[in-house]
Every structure is written in structure tokens, then in C-alpha cells.
Chains A and B, each alone.
Chain A
Amino acid sequence: DAGVTQSPTHLIKTRGQQVTLRCSPKSGHDTVSWYQQALGQGPQFIFQYYEEEERQRGNFPDRFSGHQYPNYSSELNVNALLLGDSALYLCASSFPTGEAFFGQGTRLTVV
């Protein structure tokens, strides 16, 4: 059983560019949440998707958007990248109120 898989593992982008990160949830899970983890900090909740809709959102600007597909996989899009967007982006899958399982993350570096 594949766990949560994220792609790519590492990414380097230039300020102002746009980026798309991808997440495939653990088999059977229908809820995907995205987190941003800056170096030395705990993960910060970005948003959660269930039934292809954004259900909850943290304190992130509209430059951060997402999508969930019918197969429950999800994308995180960030527009107009800033240097401060450099972080480890984590995807977690679960049932809506169940235990969260995390992927290995995507390390985004903005230069």
C-alpha cells in the first residue's frame, strides 16, 4: 500500500514565477491537507480539500490555491513567488476526522 506521495521532491524557482506541487493520498483517504513548514518551525496549515472543495483555510494569501481531483489527488499552486515562500511543503491525507498521514514533502527554494 503506497502511502502519501508528493512530487517533485525538490524544486528551485525564481521570484515572481508560479509553481504547482502534487500529492497523491494514501489509498482509501478522501481528504487532503497542505502545510508549509519553514526551517526550524512547525508546519502551518494552508488549506484542506474534501469532495473536491476547499473546506478550511489557514492564514495564507490568495496566491496560494489548490485543487482536488475525483481520484482524491490534489495540487497546491503558488503564484507570484516570494523569497519567503521557500519552505518544505507537506501534504497529509486522512478521512475528514481521522489520523493524518504525511508525505515526504516538497522542498521549494525561491531565488
Chain B
Amino acid sequence: KQEVTQIPAALSVPEGENLVLNCSFTDSAIYNLQWFRQDPGKGLTSLLLIQSSQREQTSGRLNASLDKSSGRSTLYIAASQPGDSATYLCAVRPRSGGYQKVTFGTGTKLQVIP
């Protein structure tokens, strides 16, 4: 059974700081890994999707890396802004062909202080 862990559970940083969020998973047989942002009481917004054959993806100030062999992914946020405050979730889709079910971590709650 796939288990996804995100550490730390919460993080508070001053505005402008670069930061890294961590995601680890127990089963390396994945199809892809996706990072999401969730604002309080809201749905999930997709940030980056990394296919199992890829090592990283970038979008603006965000960069996500994937190391399947070690079961780790990181989300790097450059020059953090108060608007980045949210919970960040990673989700792993298994490589089982056909119709898969995704396993989520419990998230890292980020607060960026002005």
C-alpha cells in the first residue's frame, strides 16, 4: 500500500525567502506525481505534474523535482510572497495501467509573513 508523507506539517517563513517542501512515498512504482495548492475550505489547484520519466518541472517561481529511486519529491518556491500562503499537497498516481487511484499526503501548511 502506497504511503505518502509530507514534512514539515507546517512552515512559517518571512516574505522573500526561498523554501523547499518535501514529499516522500513508499512505493516507487508510480505513474506520476502532482503538486497541488489548497486554500482554506477550497478545492485543489494543480501546480505541477511530473511524469515518472521526468526529473523536474518548472512553472514560474515553482520548481518540482522527482527522485523515484529514493521515493522523494521536492517543491521549491522562490522569493515567497504572502499570496503563497496555503496548504501544499503532493499526490502520487500508481503505475498500474488503466484506471488508477491517487494517494495524497496530508499536506504542508505554509504561512508567508509580510
Q: Indicate if the CB atoms of B43 and A103 lie closer than 8 Å.
A: yes
Please classify the interface of chain A as helix (H, G, I), strand (E, B), loop, or mixed, using the class held by over half of its residues: strand
| Chain B nearest CB, measured from A84 CB (Å) | 18
Q: How many positions in chain B have a CB within 8 Å of any CB in the partner chain?
A: 25
> A-B pairs with CB below 8 Å: how many?
64
Residue B114 lies at the interface, judged by CB distance under 8 Å to chain A:
no
| Chain B nearest CB, measured from A90 CB (Å) | 6
Q: How many positions in chain A have a CB within 8 Å of any CB in the partner chain?
A: 30
Contact bitstring A37-71, B, C-beta under 8 A = 1, else 0: 00011111100101000011110000000000000
Q: Indicate if the CB atoms of B105 and A42 lie closer than 8 Å.
A: yes
Return chain A residues, CB-CB under 8 Å to B101.
33, 45, 48, 56-58
| Chain A nearest CB, measured from B10 CB (Å) | 11
Return chain B residues, CB-CB under 8 Å to A55.
98-99
Contact status of A88 and B41, CB under 8 A, knowing A50-B99, A99-B46: yes
Q: Indicate if the CB atoms of B100 and A97 lie closer than 8 Å.
A: yes
> Which A residues have a C-beta under 8 Å from some C-beta of B?
4, 6, 31, 33, 35, 40-45, 48, 50, 55-58, 88, 90, 92, 96-97, 99-105, 107
> Which B residues have a C-beta under 8 Å from some C-beta of A?
4, 31-32, 34, 36, 41-46, 49, 89, 91, 93, 98-107
